[in-house]
Amino acid sequence: MNRNEDLYVTESAKGVGQFAADFSAIVKANDFVVNNSETMDMQKTFRAHGGEVSDDFDLHMMQICKPTKADKSLTANPERAILMPKFVMVFSRDGKTQIRYLSYSNADILELVRDDPKFVESVGQTFTKIRSMIDEAK
């Protein structure tokens, strides 16, 4: 993994909640879904399960999926599932909203899902699209 290429690091002038709402709308407009919209606010999720976090803890872990693409992909090869959960992390630090997204290089994909060269191009397109949706939501 190459941190400089695979980890997308950016900021938004919007608050965490506003970015999450705007990003969710853009995701939906592009036929993706946020699978965990009910549990992406980690403060609420941790507290609901007995975890203790401060009132200013505002991490949102947003799981992105495109069901109309994933269904065909996973039916063709269930081994691809290891790279299917795509999470966008949104949190505040030093008064700014931080966004992180981890994708994988073609070499990493081929190493994890061997003998499946078609998947490299397909999942690569999805990684690029998620980055562009993040940029649109900022």
- 111's CB contacts (< 8 A; 6+ apart) are none
pLDDT in tens, 4-40: 789 999 999 999 999 999 999 999 999 999 999 999 9
**Alpha-carbon Rg of the chain, whole angstroms?**
16
pLDDT in tens, 86-119: 999 999 999 999 999 999 988 899 999 988 888 9
pTM of this structure: 0.91
- 88's CB contacts (< 8 A; 6+ apart) are 23, 61, 62, 64, 99, 100, 101, 130, 134
Specify the DSSP class assigned to residue 1: -
Sorted by where each starts, the structural domains of the chain and their CATH numbers stand as: 3-137 (3.30.310.70)
